[in-house]
Each structure stands twice: as structure tokens, then as C-alpha cells.
Amino acid sequence: MNNIIKHHNNIYLDYAATTPMDIRVIKKMYNYLITNDNFGNSISQIHYFGQKVHEDIEKARYQIATIIGGNPQNIIFTSSASESINLAIKGIIYKYPKKKHIITCVSEHAATLQTCYFLEKQNLCDVTYLTVSKIGLIDLDYLKDHIKHNTILITIMHINNEIGIIQDIQHIGEICKQKNIFFHVDATQSIGKFPFNLSNYNIDLLSFSAHKFYGPKGIGVLYTKHPCLIPLIHGGNHEKGMRAGTLATHQIIGMAEALYLIHKNIMNEMTRIKFLKNMLWDGVKNIPGIFLNSDLNHTSPYIINLRFKNIFNKLLLLEMHNIAVSLSSACMTNSYKLSHVLQSLGLTKKEIHSSIRISFGMFTTIQDINVTISTIHTAIHKIRHHNKFYSI
């Protein structure tokens, strides 16, 4: 597997965008696909083939639910975290049309923000977009001040995908419980990276995706504590009527296996990744004009967002051509728009164009970090001393 990540001496440090599949997950899915009796439709339980696949899906559902501390009956399989987020937010608003107020945050993922924009344009609800501090944290008193009599949903990302800031979802959940408000958490950057148990939180809806923890793309989960949603996709009674369409059995099997494998060693992996992140920062923090976008104490060990004064980030990435890092969210990389997350921190256009995101994962090694530190030093020196035309 490491040979895939290190292909042609490339180093992959964009794990917040997606992760490579664990070879053990690939083998599990492959063996499932080539087994003759695993092709049935789980909805056709009148015969053996449908029963077999239904049983396999329910085993996977149970495995995922057990790891996150939930009830298997509350797992809805979707195609992605983005679909899960859409189903959570739209499903609530369609179900409760008389309570038309949502609270979210300006630095949320595009799947949340664009869903809220859509509902506003359709005059289906009003949305309050909470501002954040200079490191990206939500002020809980500010949140409470914006709750209205008709607030039906608060939707907040646990860990921001660009800067890694960790929101206080435990206290937000308590606020929601006191006010009888549904609480949806985008846990895309949490599940498979942190020990996460739903019994520790007052969360009604939880979204996440397999490809963020070394599983297959095209499969996600919405965990819903209550039958509180109107479905978005109609056409069958799949997923207890919440999401029509024949289930992708092999992807579900792969998702469950990936989560099981990563969860077995999750505490040790967290410690290892935190060491690598601190090692990287220690190796570059003395570069003149370098800044952290957010801070080390309130952020995920898996993500660091750096800013280099007067260095155009695209040029820096060209000089780091063998190291895969990111300018921003994977969903925004092909867009000419400025990162709304970095804008929410109060960064200027020039500062945003000087920022890069580095994210770590299972196959990141100490050698990778050493090479990255050296490459950044060399690239910054070259741009500042030999290529001033391209600095900003």
C-alpha cells in the first residue's frame, strides 16, 4: 500500500480530501464481489440470494453502529457525507414546515452552506450563520442569543476540514436538548480519526463518509436518532423508506471493514499523527513570515493550515511538486472563489492566497515529514530570493 502512496517519490499529505483505501478493505470487497451468492438484492428477501445479502448488510450496519455507540436501526446508508448532510437538513425542514429557522456557522462545509442557501431561496426557512473567532471557534453564548421560538435545527461541523478547528459539540448538544432543537453534526473529519461514541453527546443526526477513513468512495452514513425526516429520494422502501435505491452491498461491506480496522488502533494512531504534526510545525515555525491559521491547541492532529507572508500558494505548491498538499477544501480546489473558511477568520485576500493545508494519515511517515520540512524551506528560499516576481 505504501508503494501506491509513494509512487514516483510522491508524498501524499492531503488526507483531509480523501484517503487511499486500505489494502485489507480492497481484499474484503474483492472477495465479496467474486463470491457467487453475493449478488442479490437485499429488498428481495423472499429467496436465499436476497436473504444472504440482507444479512450481510445488517451485519455491516451493526458493526458501524457499535463502533460509534449507536443503534443499528438508526443507520441510513447514502452515497456520501454530502448526501447525508442534504438529507439531514432538508429532511428536517420538509418534515416540520411550521418551524422554519436553522442555525449553522459561516465556516461549515459547502454541503451544509449550499443546502441552507437552497432552502432560503425556496422560502422554506430562515438561516442564521454564526460568525467565528480568529481561530474558528463558535461562541456558545452568541449561539444561544440567536435561538428563536421557531428554531428547529442547529447544524455544526465537529472538525473543520480546512483548518481542523474542533467545535464544542458536547455543549452545543446540551443547549439543543434544553431548547428542544434537533442537532445535526457533520462528523466527516471525526469518524475513523477520533474515538467517537454517540452516548457521550446529545446528537440527533450524524453524517460521515467511508473514503475519509480508508474505505471506498461512494458510500456514506446518516445516523438519525428519531424518525424525524422526509426522504429526498423516492422509489422504494429501502433503508426503512428513508432512501430509495438498491444498496451497494460491496461498498457497505468495505465501509464497515475500514471503520473496524482503523478503530482497532485509533488511540495509538492519534498519538502518532499528533507527533508528526508537531514535528512538521517545529521544523518550519522559524521560517520568517510563517503563521498558523488557527492554533495547535484547539485543532485536529490530522490537519494543519499554514500561511507564508508574501508567498503565492500556487507557486509554493509548484515548487513542492512531489508533495500532495492542498490550497483549501477538496470541494473548492477547482473553484476560483476564496476559501470561505479562511475569510471567516478575518484573513485578507492576500493572506488567503498565501495559505496551504497539510493533512496527515495512516501512511504518513517521519521520513515524509522530514522531506516536507526540507522541501518547504527550499521552496520558500527559492521564491523569496530568486523569483521575487511571483511573490505577493
Active site residues: 331
Sheet holding 355-359, edge to edge: 290-292, 303-308, 355-359
User: In 3D, which of 158, 164, 148, 29 has the Cα closest to residue 85?
Assistant: 158
The Cα-based distances of 78 to 25, 132, 267, 362 in angstroms read: 19, 30, 28, 25
Between CA 369 and CA 49 the distance in angstroms is: 49
Q: What cell does 92 get? A: 428536517
In this structure, which amino acid lies at residue 127? V
